[in-house]
């Protein structure tokens, strides 16, 4: 499996590559210069399960803010640099644990060299990121459009520039909003390199379309053993990105832990507000540190049977519901107490 043989890269106190667990990343959408707002958002993300955070560094002030932000957070911070090589250097001097650059946007080789020299001195990894949207003109012409081949060639060109400067503490990311092109590009890239890969579908859209595109793209790649760290990009609260990333990893068997909520799709037999109840259960279990399956079913006729594979469940009836454990009905519970009863059972799990 590709992921087992990638180079190990340390990002602050975290490690990616070499078969280590796939880590979840997200990116703040606050102004990095606003330390209080950025720290508050990172704390929410940490609590949701974010393991590496990226912040944009467009200004000198943002670079300076990094050292203050770093004092107040508990996960490694990646500085996202667009065009100004001086920001990359300032971010590293202010404690960034990794920088993300596209050497093609940084300018002359001297500028790239200046960035690489600082990274080398401090042993800070560089994520070399290329995006289908900014593919060089000559590669677009060579491959008659934006193609997986072009994206891979562009990424490897950038990697070779940095390698030629004597540095290989690198992570690569190649992104496209075209899911199948993104998958094809990664499948080609892994034949040519063993650097760890940051994988994500870029500009994938709002919560609904972003989740579907990311689940398909990341699902295929991760299942093929490709991807050492992931970001689900969503137009929305970044906490949603982390929740989705966790669910993707858990669904693929790449993460253990946490409560999985399964619920039935409802049908004509449903007599309670199961949609509301299932959503409430999902929220309620988010901070309970158990590794369990919880079923939320819509009727007392089929619910208990269908919930057999769950550790615990509730099934709604008319005005009352059932508490179920491993498919066995434990007792009847008034409808309005179902949620609380389930919560109490979970909080006392293992003490019974």
Site of interaction with ligand SF4 (CB under 6 A): 264-267, 269-270, 297-299, 302-303, 306
Please say which residue, 77 or 297, places its beta carbon nearer to ligand SF4.
297
Please say which residue, 253 or 265, places its beta carbon nearer to ligand SF4.
265
- If we measure between CA atoms, which residue out of 316, 321, 262 comes closest to residue 292? 262
Minimum separation from the CB atom of position 345 to ligand SF4 (A) = 20
Handedness of CA 61, 46, 186, 169 (dihedral sign): positive
CB 152 within 8 A of CB 172: no
Minimum separation from the CB atom of position 333 to ligand SF4 (A) = 17
- Around Cβ 340, how many Cβ atoms within 10 Å? 11
List Cβ neighbours of 167 (8 Å cut-off, separation of 6 or more). Answer: 116, 119, 120, 126
CB 147 within 8 A of CB 171: no
Please say which residue, 253 or 268, places its beta carbon nearer to ligand SF4.
268
Minimum separation from the CB atom of position 244 to ligand SF4 (A) = 25
Please say which residue, 150 or 303, places its beta carbon nearer to ligand SF4.
303
Minimum separation from the CB atom of position 265 to ligand SF4 (A) = 6
Please say which residue, 187 or 282, places its beta carbon nearer to ligand SF4.
282
* Residue for token pair 């990894």: 125
Task: Report residue 142 as tokens.
Answer: 């060579």
Q: Which residue, judged by CB position, is nearest to ligand SF4 in the bound state? A: 298
Minimum separation from the CB atom of position 314 to ligand SF4 (A) = 11
Handedness of CA 104, 105, 108, 111 (dihedral sign): negative
């Amino acid at each position: 499996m590709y992921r087992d043989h990638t180079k190990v890269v340390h990002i602050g106190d975290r490690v990616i590559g070499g078969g280590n667990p796939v880590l979840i990343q997200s990116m703040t959408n606050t102004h990095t210069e606003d330390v209080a707002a950025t720290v508050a958002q990172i704390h929410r993300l940490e609590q949701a399960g974010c393991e590496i955070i990226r912040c944009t560094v467009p200004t000198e002030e943002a670079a300076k803010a990094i050292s203050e932000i770093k004092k107040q957070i508990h996960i490694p911070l990646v500085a996202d640099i667009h065009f100004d090589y001086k920001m990359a250097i300032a971010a590293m001097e202010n404690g960034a644990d990794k920088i993300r650059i596209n050497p093609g946007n940084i300018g002359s080789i001297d500028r790239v060299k200046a960035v690489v020299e600082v990274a080398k001195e401090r042993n800070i990894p560089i994520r070399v990121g290329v995006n289908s949207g900014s593919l060089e003109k000559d590669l677009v012409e060579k491959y008659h459009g934006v193609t997986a081949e072009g994206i891979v060639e562009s990424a490897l060109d950038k990697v070779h520039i940095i390698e030629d400067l004597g540095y290989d503490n690198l992570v690569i990311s190649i992104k496209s909003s075209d899911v199948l092109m993104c998958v094809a590009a990664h499948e080609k890239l892994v034949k040519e390199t063993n650097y760890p890969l940051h994988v994500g579908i870029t500009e994938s859209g709002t919560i609904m379309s972003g989740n579907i595109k990311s689940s398909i793209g990341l699902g295929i790649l991760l299942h093929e053993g490709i991807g050492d760290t992931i970001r689900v990009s969503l137009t929305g609260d970044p906490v949603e990105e982390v929740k989705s990333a966790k669910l993707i990893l858990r669904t693929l068997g790449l993460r253990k832990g946490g409560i999985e909520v399964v619920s039935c799709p409802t049908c004509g037999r449903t007599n309670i507000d199961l949609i509301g109840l299932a959503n409430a259960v999902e929220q309620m279990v988010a901070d309970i540190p158990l590794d369990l399956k919880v079923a939320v079913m819509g009727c007392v006729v089929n619910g208990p049977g269908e919930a057999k594979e769950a550790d615990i469940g509730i099934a709604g009836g008319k005005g009352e519901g059932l508490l179920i454990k491993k498919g066995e009905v434990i007792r009847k519970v008034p409808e309005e107490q179902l949620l609380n009863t389930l919560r109490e059972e979970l909080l006392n799990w293992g003490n019974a």
